[in-house]
Structure 1
Amino acid sequence: MLKAVLGLMLALGLAGAAQAASKLETIELASKLVPSPVKVAVLLPDGYQPSQKLPLILMLHGGGGDEGFLTQMRPIVEAAWAANEVAPAVVVTPNVQRSLYMDYKDGSQRWETFLVTEMIPELRRRYGLSAERSKTVVTGISMGGLGSLRLGFDHPQVFGGLAALEAGIEPALSFEDVKMRNRFQRNDAFFKTIFGDPVDRDLWKRSNPANMVIANRQAILASKLAIYIEVGDLDMFHLDEGVEFLHRVMWDHGVPHEYRLVRGADHLGRTMQPRMRDALKFLDREVLRPSPPDDSFADRKAAIDRLRRSMGVPDDEPRPPFPSTSPAR
């Protein structure tokens, strides 16, 4: 039911989007790590040639979705290509079922391991893709936003950037603090399937993006991982609370990122086309085709720096934290 509703909302939101001469195909990958074969949708840009060493964009589907998500997103990607908002790339959506992009507690399904150690290397080999992290990015919606955060935070040596749209995350640092209003679409039985019965609190903590930021902070900073998070302020699943919480954790721990609270936006619908294009533009300008640093104001910045120091504010004074990392509501 959820899949059908989201599909209809996306269809309404993408009406009239541009078309281009790209090619969409579906392949199947065998694996012992996850239920096999795994269907993977692959979008090739106009004029694709293996010798081009194109970038890879993972575009992750939400809960209840599958590889057909890329068919829904195709007009957005094509419009972005046509406007030169994002570099030509091979865009890929694997069907990971409703796995949260995780390795299960019981080891029966190891989706994160599959994606990083099997799928990405195979896609690079099969399509002649660049193996550079500066040419490898991940984005996704809802559960796919959660997957983007988990993959990026866990593997900053693989991904140059991530863009998580309305990520399906909870505003908490411990499972006990998660309120039903923030997980009503995921019942107890669902959590037990992935995190064990009873739910392994330590596994949940290690897999929670806010905790991952704290635990992996040094690696994230050293890699200069480009991070983009956004959510609508009218999200029907209250995901704005989880994304705002993550933003505050990153702020308090000095992890650079771009955050957008989209006014008047719900979960998917008509706002999704411009929102996904904004996410793609971020990945393009920060990772795939970065612009040179803006030094047009260097003289003024130097003057402000001198003023700050003269007033007794040292260069390395930390920014003040938010009053609390608890949700504002």
Structure 2
Amino acid sequence: MELTEGRFTSTAVGREVEYRVLLPADLEVGEDVPLVLHLHGAMSSSASLVLARPLYEELARRGRFPRAVIACPSTPTAGGFYLNWPGGESWETLISKEFPEHLAASHHGPFTANALIGVSMGGYGALLAAFAEPERFAAVAAISPAIFPGETPQTVAEVNTPSVLGDLHRSMSYGTGDAGTYAENSVYARARRNAARIRGAALPVLVDCGAEDEFRLHEGAGYLGEVLTELRIGHELRLVQGAGHIGPEAEVRTRNAIEFVGDALTPRGAESAANRRSCP
């Protein structure tokens, strides 16, 4: 696979955005391939795709991941968080619409499908975008997503909002503490509002988190699993025993998440994934 760097001027955020793209070295103009958006975590950048590159290449060699364009834009943490800020930068719009459109124009699109893989803050952003418009995505995989075990600002305990997670928690209501505003940026609220659409789209959903996550994100992952089960939204919830937020298990879990998306993007895998996702 070939890794390239690029920049484009975004209307959604009003600035130049740096990104990296991983694609087959022999990709032909007009070739039908899917697009995978690889969303990085807090205090990171598109360089996270460099670290994930060997996993994509390994799975592609083994036939467990299709020929695809894989792209990661650099997005800020504070003032970003993959949110659309009132009167300001619209990072959710960038990742879900503007950036894919730019890639389609510059990397042999349009694409046959779009999928999302996100880690930590990127896991939150991936779920947020996928649950807003489930028909637009072929799969979403969230690894240690930055989500909380509560659906309002008041029901999330302080112990679940350390450091940058506290910044995200406040940013979901744009610093106002207003429950309605918070819900607009809540993965749970979007799942509840669009449950019928998510079920209708048969969106493959993976939520993977270490059961001993240092930031207690496993509590949010478990809560999301309960909400999705309540809403009869098919999903896979993996709470990995002995695993934390990062560590030696992170590479295995990322590989498994990429494989999950790869399955959803191939006809044979899509059929078996649909069977695995069925809920009682």
Q: Does 1:150 find its partner at 2:131?
A: no
Q: What is the CA–CA distance in structure 1 between the aligned matches of 2:104 and 2:28, rounded to whole Å?
A: 13
SS at match of 1:199: coil
Q: What is the CA–CA distance in structure 2 between the aligned matches of 1:107 and 1:76, rounded to whole Å?
A: 39
Q: CA deviation at 1:158?
A: 1.4
Match of 2:73 in 1: 94
Q: CA deviation at 1:185?
A: 2.1
TM value normalised by structure 2: 0.90
Q: Does 1:180 find its partner at 2:161?
A: no
Q: Which runs of 5+ in 1 are unaligned?
A: 1-21, 295-317, 320-329
Q: 1:292 to 1:152 in 2, by over 3 A?
A: closer
Q: Does 1:64 find its partner at 2:43?
A: yes
Q: Does 1:125 find its partner at 2:125?
A: no
Q: Does 1:107 find its partner at 2:96?
A: no
Match of 2:225 in 1: 247
- The CA RMSD measured in Å over matched residues stands at 2.0
The answer to whether the 8 Å contact 1:35/1:109 transfers is yes
Match of 1:270 in 2: 248
Amino acid aligned to 1:26: E
Amino acid aligned to 2:82: Y
Q: What is the CA–CA distance in structure 2 between the aligned matches of 1:179 and 1:23, rounded to whole Å?
A: 44
SS at match of 1:96: coil
Q: CA deviation at 1:194?
A: 5.9
TM value normalised by structure 1: 0.78
Amino acid aligned to 1:100: F
Between 88-97 and 113-122, the greater mean CA deviation after superposition: 113-122
SS at match of 1:250: helix
Between 135-144 and 43-52, the greater mean CA deviation after superposition: 43-52
Which digits, 9 at most, give the CA deviation of each residue in 1:135-176, with x for residues without a partner?
210001100111110111011121111000110000001111
Between 116-125 and 235-244, the greater mean CA deviation after superposition: 116-125
SS at match of 1:213: helix
The answer to whether the 8 Å contact 1:40/1:94 transfers is yes
Which digits, 9 at most, give the CA deviation of each residue in 1:17-50, with x for residues without a partner?
xxxxx21111111123214100111111232223
SS at match of 2:7: strand
Which of the residues 53, 67, 70 maps onto 1:74?
53
SS at match of 1:167: coil
Which of the residues 19, 30, 33 maps onto 2:9?
30
Match of 2:276 in 1: none
Match of 1:161 in 2: 139
Q: CA deviation at 1:287?
A: 3.2
Q: CA deviation at 1:186?
A: 3.0
Q: What is the CA–CA distance in structure 2 between the aligned matches of 1:266 and 1:51, rounded to whole Å?
A: 42
The answer to whether the 8 Å contact 2:21/2:72 transfers is yes
Amino acid aligned to 1:173: E
Q: What is the CA–CA distance in structure 2 between the aligned matches of 1:251 and 1:126, rounded to whole Å?
A: 40
1:222-237 matches, within 5 Å, as: 222-237=200-215
Match of 1:305 in 2: none
Q: CA deviation at 1:243?
A: 0.3
Match of 1:5 in 2: none
Q: CA deviation at 1:114?
A: 2.0
Q: What is the CA–CA distance in structure 2 between the aligned matches of 1:284 and 1:190, rounded to whole Å?
A: 30
Q: CA deviation at 1:110?
A: 0.6
Q: CA deviation at 1:124?
A: 1.2
Which of the residues 171, 179, 182 maps onto 1:204?
182
SS at match of 2:11: coil
Match of 1:45 in 2: 24
The answer to whether the 8 Å contact 1:55/1:288 transfers is no
Match of 1:306 in 2: none
Which digits, 9 at most, give the CA deviation of each residue in 1:185-232, with x for residues without a partner?
237666555633423321211211122111110111111111111100
